[in-house]
Amino acid sequence: MLFVDGSANSSGSGARLVLVRPDKFLVEYALKLDFYACNNEAEYEALLAGLALALELEADRLKAHSDSQLVVGHINRLYEAKDRRMLKYLKKVRGKISLFKEFEIVQISRTLNARADALSKMASSETTSRGNMYTEVLSRPSIEREEVTHIDHEPSWMDPIIQYLKDGTLPEDRKEARRITVKSALYILKGEVLYKRSFSWPLLKCLRPTNADRAMAEVHEGICGDHSAHKILRREFFWPTMLEDAQNYVKKCEQCQKFSSVPRQPATQYSPISSPTPFVM
**pLDDT of 128-152, one tens digit each?**
433 346 788 888 888 886 554 444 4
Q: Where are the alpha helices (DSSP H) in the chain?
A: 39-56, 69-75, 84-97, 114-124, 158-167, 174-184, 209-220, 229-234, 242-252, 254-259
Sign of the alpha-carbon dihedral angle for 115, 118, 124, 125: negative
Q: What is the pLDDT of residue 151?
A: 46
**pLDDT of 35-71, one tens digit each?**
888 888 889 999 999 998 888 888 889 999 998 889 9
**Same domain for 23 and 50:** yes
Is residue 277 domain-resident? no
Structural contact between residues 276 and 263, judged by C-beta atoms closer than 8 angstroms: no
**Same domain for 67 and 9:** yes
**Same domain for 7 and 138:** yes
Q: What is the pLDDT of residue 150?
A: 45
Structural contact between residues 44 and 50, judged by C-beta atoms closer than 8 angstroms: no
**Same domain for 120 and 13:** yes
Structural contact between residues 51 and 63, judged by C-beta atoms closer than 8 angstroms: no
**Same domain for 127 and 186:** no
Q: What is the pLDDT of residue 129?
A: 38
What residue numbers bound the domain in which 209 lies? 158-259
CATH number at 82 reads 3.30.420.10
CATH number at 209 reads 1.10.340.70
Share of the chain above pLDDT 70, in %: 81
Q: What is the pLDDT of residue 114?
A: 61
**Same domain for 111 and 24:** yes
**Same domain for 213 and 122:** no
Q: What is the pLDDT of residue 120?
A: 43
Domains identified in the chain, total number: 2
Of residues 154 and 185, more confidently modeled: 185
pTM of the model: 0.51
**Same domain for 28 and 128:** yes
For the chain, give the number of residues.
281
Q: What is the pLDDT of residue 253?
A: 76
Is residue 181 domain-resident? yes
Is residue 275 domain-resident? no
Q: What is the pLDDT of residue 156?
A: 83
Residue 17 burial (CB count, 10 A): 31
**What residues have CB less than 8 Å from 156, skipping those under 6 apart?**
208, 209
* Torsion from C-alpha of 217, 222, 223, 226, nearest 10 degrees: 0
